[in-house]
Chain A
Amino acid sequence: MSTFRLRGGRVFDPASRIDGTIADIGVRDGRIVELGPEESVDREYDVTGMTVMAGGIDMHSHIGGGKVNLARMLMPEDHRIRMQREEAENALELASCGVCTPGTLATGYRYAEMGYTAAFEPAMIASNARHTHLEMGDTPIIDHGAYVMLGNDELFLSMLAKGEDFERLRDYVGWSINATKALGVKVVNPGGISAFKFNQRNLNVDETHAHYAITPRQVLHTLARALTELKVPHPLHIHASNLGVPGNVDSTLATIDALEGLPGHLTHIQFHSYGTEGPRKFSSAAERIAEAVNAHPNISIDVGQIMFGQTVTASGDIMKQVKQAEFASPRKWIAGDIECDAGCGVVPFRYREQSYVNALQWTIGLELFLRVKNPWQITLTTDHPNGGPFTSYPHLIRLLMDKSFRDEQLAKLHPEVAQQSALASMTRELSFEEIAILTRAAPARLLGLRDRGRLSAGAAADIAVYRDDPNREAMFSTPEYVFKDGELVARRGRIVATPVGGTHFVEPEFDRSIERTLDEYGERHLAYNFRHAAIGRDELCSCCNGGRLLPAACSVHGNNTGEQSS
């Protein structure tokens, strides 16, 4: 039994409504406990003057699976950049490199030393689920999980087109989540990835698929309803239609409308908040999107902020990525049609401050952060690596917390953007409490992780302790202490232990008779034995290097884990 106390820190635990109170945090055997001030402990850390938060949770970060590994293969130059990390010559770290798409080992190390203790792969293709779990299992220290992609798989589309009973579709969704050991469901360009296979190059929310008689609106509503009825905590994770297309604000609003009040999480919404105003027919529609989010409590978003510099975009949205490929920098790209199930597009980009389009994208992301009123509806992401690598989060946090720093950066951008952006007049600076919501409490709540993203008694002791620094980027880059399940894993930006992370997933109930349909379909259409489709718990364990299995309880969406006081 090991016990320790963090003494005298400023605690920000929005899930327990603690906002900067000076308090001690007690830990016993990996859990947070109430400890009397006199109770003896094995170790006491004096964290006076430091900021204490739960470990960070990244709910949308492409950390593992087919397209991420393709991105690594495509970009050896990214991996030849030797990072200036001489001081980090650390025998505990196995060799692993890369900036925009680091190896899984480096991914775990860099997240942990930044105070993050969990990250979620948002686009797990069902046929690629084992691969995804293998990669996440090789991502050390942090916990992980994934959302399975549905809504472009031909079985779902054909069942929907045939007008099969909703219950059958719901069972299929339940089966898919179980079989792939997913934590949620993501839909990417609803129906559009499939439509591209039939040479359809665009698919609007109310447009009909070239082959299956369905519309994206139907796909969205069916999936959102299925998840609600299956009591999966995470709302439908939605990569909306028309990624990156000027004027896509209309389809984004239509997507919200299609949910008819059902819960939905619109991901990397920055890439879906574009208007067509102005001489270049490309403008910010952040205000309209933020208004819609503010008016729809059933909606949550993450931003997908872009960061200037080299990155590589990896998306399931082959339809839109093939269109973007002409902007690839360097000039090379990968696209693939995958197993009647999904697709992928991997396109390197260099976001430039002097590009009108990129500068505007940057301001749109920040506008969204500052315009959405309820911080519980928004989480902090760069859609790693699509908008930029996750290692840029401390910089992004500084942009949100420091108006003068933001203005300095804005002044460096393409002059038309710098002069016209609404961002210049926005004075809001996010508080520590709001940062704690955007980076831990809200993601935990949106994912149904009841004992994470919080510091109340009973919660897992995933804790980050930051030494105060007026430069918030420096402060959030190298926390003084990072604990994972009560184990000290990083100290001042140096890894000191590398435990294996756990896997979060859900196991909703469903009617198993759907398996007969799946077996028949598999026999005719798939290239592997249906009996290999499902990943059992034992197999998951071996894929994930023996990491802990962390099944989340199924209950209603947006359960009230967030706002109770402890």
Chain B
Amino acid sequence: MDATLHTPPWTCPFCALLCDRFGVAQAETLTPAGTRCPRAARALAQFGAEPSPARPAVDGQPVDAQTALDTAAQWLARARQPLFGGMATDVAGARALYRVANACGAIFDHAHGRALMHGLTAMQDRGAFTTTLAEIRNRADLIVCIGASPSARYPEFFARCAVGNEPDEVGPAQRTVVPAQRTVVFLGCDADADTDRALAEQPGVETLAIPLQGDLYDTVATLNALLAGKSLRTGVDPALAALVERMLAANYTAIVWIPADLPGAHATLLVEGFDRLLKALNRTQRAGGLALGGDDGGASVNQTLTWLSGLPLRTGVHRSGLEHAPQRYDTARLLADHGVDALLWVSSFGADLPPPHTTLPTIVLGHPGLAATCADREGPTVFVPVSTPGIGSPGHLFRADGGVVLPLTPVYEDTLPTVAAFAAQLGAKLASHKENAA
């Protein structure tokens, strides 16, 4: 039997690189066909070869879909300040949940809200100088990875940027340039990962590990000072001075970081430091920055909420108007401070984003694998298993670098509702609650 369920172009929804040059095969679970990406393999293994027969539950007891919907609507209607957290969904899910938030006055955060806010607040304060995967692929002769190697979370990153491809693979057929020789610098990274070691053996690739001077904050400050030509009181690591020289000599420098791996509570300052570095470089040279993040729909939900409301994640849709509070509207903080009294948790891509511990009434729109967790919680819990975009239903996701949106093609037709479909019903139910109350 031909076990390939989906040949390319299937779009992998399980990290924000959105690879679309491999397919999906069927074994006991789904498996990737045509890639060795461990992340895709792990994520696909959470899905059986057939659609899940999972059913909704209230406090662990199976209920029909209508009961789950009614209960969820009641809880939201009763809540004075609900929080929509997790938000691991696609564009359609975010669109539909925005209507629900308007009906019940909810605050939005994302499971990766903290990491997303590093970049967002730095952008709100200083701006950004960005680049994209294809720009790196075609132009970057110097790639500086800061803080963590991209390969750990994004195994396909270097392949997507064609780093180490044979020159004729990206060759001169169209007379477009692809750097014949690239240098990949791992600054303050644990560069022992297998893929990175393999990278050094690729033709035309030179890798270079540079340790931190002090901590990452100190190191970035030093790079900025060197680039600005400032004299430093302490001695400068010659490796950092050489790196600045390399950046000034490169045709195009790409600076790559992973927001989720930036250390410290004030990682926004690091992103601001990267911005300063990039803008200084661009006075005379060419360079661009790439933050690799926005997984589990983070980038997509942030974009969608921004265009709908005018404000990004960590915004509340209140009766008095919209309020954006990047520090205050943090899920953990809101729960700890009793700032909210109900939680809608969305985790449609997998079972590895369970709802946080809380005694509040919690509605979980989640991967079927979350059923057990949701049956065993302190507070009242409605669990609605939902379809995963790209597995059981179509959808759209944003890639990590911002502008590229790719369509998701399902592997099979699901029996479970999409987040958007359930949210639409929820919104209608809440509207009728309102009318009854009026």
* A64 contacts B by Cβ under 8 Å: yes
**Any B CB within 8 A of the CB of A43:** no
Contact of B310 among A72, A198, A211 (CB under 8 A): A72
Q: Does A158 contact B (CB under 8 A)?
A: yes
Interface: A103 (CB within 8 A) = yes
Q: How far is the CB of B278 from chain A (nearest CB, A)?
A: 9
Q: Tell me if B178 is interfacial: C-beta within 8 Å of chain A.
A: yes
In the bound complex, residues from chain A placing their C-beta under 8 Å from that of B197 are: none
> Which residue of A has the minimal Cβ distance to B91?
A134
Q: List 13 A-B contacts (CB under 8 A).
A: A69-B306, A73-B306, A74-B127, A97-B322, A102-B310, A103-B310, A134-B307, A196-B286, A197-B252, A525-B174, A527-B134, A532-B20, A543-B396
Contact B303 A69 (CB under 8 A): yes
CB-CB under 8 A from A127, the residues of chain B are 132, 134, 403-404
Whole-angstrom distance between the Cβ of B174 and the nearest chain A Cβ: 5
Q: A79-B324, A161-B175, A197-B139 are in contact. Are A97 and B311 (CB under 8 A)?
A: yes
Cβ-neighbour of B138 out of A66, A138, A154, A532 (below 8 A): A154
Q: Are B20 and A336 in contact (CB under 8 A)?
A: no
Given contacts A336-B131, A532-B9, contact A97 B310 (CB under 8 A): yes
User: Which residues of chain A are near B132, meaning CB under 8 Å?
Assistant: 127, 336-339, 527
Chain B 152-180, CB within 8 Å of chain A: the 1/0 string? 00000000110000000111011111100
The reply to whether the CB of B126 lies closer than 8 angstroms to some CB of chain A is yes
Known interface pairs A322-B282, A532-B406. Does A73 touch B161 (Cβ–Cβ under 8 Å)? no
CA distance A95 to B98 in the complex (A): 9
Within the complex, the shortest CB–CB distance from B115 to chain A, in Å, comes to 16
A216 to B112, CA, bound (A): 44
Within residues 55 to 70 of chain A, which ones have a CB less than 8 A from any CB in chain B?
Answer: 64, 66, 68-70
User: From residue B219, how far is it (CB to closest CB) to chain A in Å?
Assistant: 24
Given contacts A76-B324, A198-B251, A527-B137, 6 further A-B contacts (CB under 8 A): A95-B309, A198-B286, A524-B171, A527-B134, A529-B9, A532-B11
Q: A-side interface residues toward B, CB under 8 Å?
A: 64, 66, 68-70, 72-74, 76, 79-80, 82, 94-98, 101-106, 125, 127-128, 130-131, 134-135, 138, 154-155, 158-159, 161-162, 196-199, 211-212, 322, 328, 332-341, 346, 520-521, 524-529, 531-532, 539, 542-543, 545
B residues engaging A (CB < 8 A)? Answer: 8-9, 11, 18, 20-21, 91-92, 95, 98-99, 102, 120, 123-135, 137-139, 160-161, 169-171, 173-178, 251-252, 282, 285-286, 288, 303-304, 306-312, 317, 321-322, 324, 394, 396, 398-399, 402-407
**CB neighbours of A199 from chain B (8 A):** 251, 285-286
- Which chain A positions have C-beta within 8 A of B128? 334-336
Once bound together, how far apart are the Cα atoms of A332 and B272, in whole Å? 11
Q: How far is the CB of A489 from chain B (nearest CB, A)?
A: 19
- A531 x B8 contact (CB < 8 A): yes
Please provide the 5 A-B residue pairs with the shortest distance between their CB atoms, ordered closest to farther. A103-B310, A527-B133, A98-B310, A130-B405, A336-B130
A10 to chain B, nearest CB (A): 37
Chain B nearest Cβ from A234, distance in angstroms: 23
User: Could you tell me the distance in whole angstroms from the C-beta of B7 to the nearest C-beta in chain A?
Assistant: 11
Question: Are A138's CB and B403's CB within 8 A?
Answer: no
Partner of B129, one of A94, A96, A102, A335: A335
User: Which residues does chain B contribute within 8 Å of A524, judged by CB atoms?
Assistant: 169-171, 173-174, 176, 178
Residues of chain A within 8 A (CB-CB) of B173 are 520, 524
Contacts of A211 in B (CB 8 A): 177
A135 CB contacts on chain B under 8 angstroms: 307
Q: Is the CB–CB distance between B308 and A528 below 8 Å?
A: no
Q: Which residues of B contact A337 (CB under 8 A)?
A: 130-132, 135, 139, 286, 288
Partner of B396, one of A82, A130, A138, A212: A130
